[in-house]
Amino acid sequence: MSIQKPIPNILKAPARGLRSVVYGIGFTFLTACSGVIPPCGAKMSPPSSELRNTKWDLIRWNLTPNANGEVRGRQIPMGDNSNPIQLAFDANGERVSGFTGCNRFTASLSEDSRGFTFEKITTTKMACNSQRTELENDFLYELNDYRNIVRDGDRLLMIGRDREVLTFAQRDIPQSKSGSK
């Protein structure tokens, strides 16, 4: 007759701890899509052809998270005549233009297997107050040095190398009247 000794509780604890970790990881994977930026259904680096003849208004600017990991939003003032910061992709997929909050800009699009980039960004040279000049410079920096663009339906996220995220909402483009005189 063999007598089995009970397993001490101290040996059972690591198994319970490991099981909790495995369950926690599984739960994280199941719920990961709910709080991720970009959203799970978003299209990473869409080809520029998907953005042809579209306009986008900047609606949110998340700054780099602070030391506590908290995301802070940047105040986005409207431009003169209540014009928001905008991006507009041309119908040929070759250029993008827009408004920086003070000046107009234009750039050519260059595309490769990783996505597209904005090249040769030029702006008008209107005099702006210091707040608008700072906003314009920061926006042009993000436009020139972003890491990824993500499309999620009528939202376009521009994710900077510095982890700032600019969120644009798609704007309807008025259809030209055909046959008008």
Both structure tokens of 72 = 């802070």
Residue 173 or residue 13, greater confidence: 173
Q: Between 126 and 181, name the one with better pLDDT.
A: 126
Arithmetic mean of pLDDT, 95-104? 92
Residue 37 has a pLDDT of 53
- Whole-angstrom distance, CA of residue 86 vs CA of residue 55: 7
Helix, strand, coil share (%) of the chain residues, nearest 5: 25, 30, 40
Confidence of residue 20 (pLDDT cuts 50, 70, 90): very low
Q: What pLDDT shows up at residue 131?
A: 86
Mean pLDDT of 4-29: 47
Give the tens place of pLDDT for each residue, 40-96. Answer: 554 466 777 888 999 999 999 999 888 888 888 888 766 556 678 999 999 988 999
Q: In whole angstroms, how far apart are CA 175 and each of 25, 54, 67, 97, 181?
A: 50, 12, 47, 18, 15
Which CATH code, of 3.30.70.270, 3.40.50.300, 3.40.50.10210, 2.40.128.270, is assigned to 43-171? 2.40.128.270
* pTM, full prediction: 0.69
The whole-number average pLDDT for the span 23-29 is: 39
